[in-house]
Structure 1
Amino acid sequence: MNALLLAVALFLLAGLVVALIAAARGPTPADRMLMALLIGTTGTGILVLLAQAMPLGALVDVALVLALLAAIGGIAFAKRAWQQEGEKEGAHD
């Protein structure tokens, strides 16, 4: 069972590498933010799988912190984008 969990974690890690490359090449800040959210959720999944495969309960705590940071980052980006959109609409009046 541990071999299966580690294989799935390795597969997710390969997807994480692709997301990192896409984040670096993303043409807009929104694309980069979506990739950052993908990195956060995939990283959380990898850490939970590793915590299950190896008896390391601390990895679950790290996974929860990573998920929380990804969510806060997404909210901060959305708030900033919303404010910038409001400034653009106000400039046209």
Structure 2
Amino acid sequence: MDNFLFAVAAFVLGLLILGLVCVLKGATLADRMMSAQLLGTSGIAALLLMATAVSEPAIIDVALALALLAAFASIAFATSSGDRQDQE
């Protein structure tokens, strides 16, 4: 079962790398932010899979911290994009 979890985590990390390409080549700021959210979600999924595979609960704490940072990043983006629209 651990090998399966490691394989799925590796697959998710591969998708995370593809998402990084979207962050770098995104057409608009919203596209880049959505790709960054994909990176956060993929990172959380990979960390949770690894935590289950190695039975290490501390990795779950890291995944929760990443989830919190991803939520704050979307709030910051929404706030800053709203400020830009008000100035136009």
Fold in common (TM above 0.5): yes
Which residue is 2:73 aligned to? Answer: 73
Which residue is 1:13 aligned to? Answer: 13
Moved over 6 A (4+): none
Q: CA-to-partner distance for each residue in 1:41-66, whole Å, 9 max, x for gaps?
A: 11000000000000211110000000
Which residue is 1:50 aligned to? Answer: 50
Question: What residue ranges of structure 1 are gaps of 5+ in the alignment?
Answer: 89-93
TM-score between the two structures when normalised by the length of structure 1? 0.91
Question: What residue ranges of structure 2 are gaps of 5+ in the alignment?
Answer: none
Which residue is 1:91 aligned to? Answer: none
| Equivalent position amino acid for 1:10 in 2 | A
1:2 aligns with 2:30: no
**Structure showing greater Rg:** 1
Question: Which moves more between the two structures, 73-82 or 22-31?
Answer: 22-31
For this pair of structures, how many residues does the alignment match?
88
* Local SS of the residue matching 1:27: coil
Which residue is 1:27 aligned to? Answer: 27
Inter-partner Cα distance in structure 2 for 1:71 and 1:35: 14
TM-score between the two structures when normalised by the length of structure 2? 0.95
Which residue is 2:38 aligned to? Answer: 38
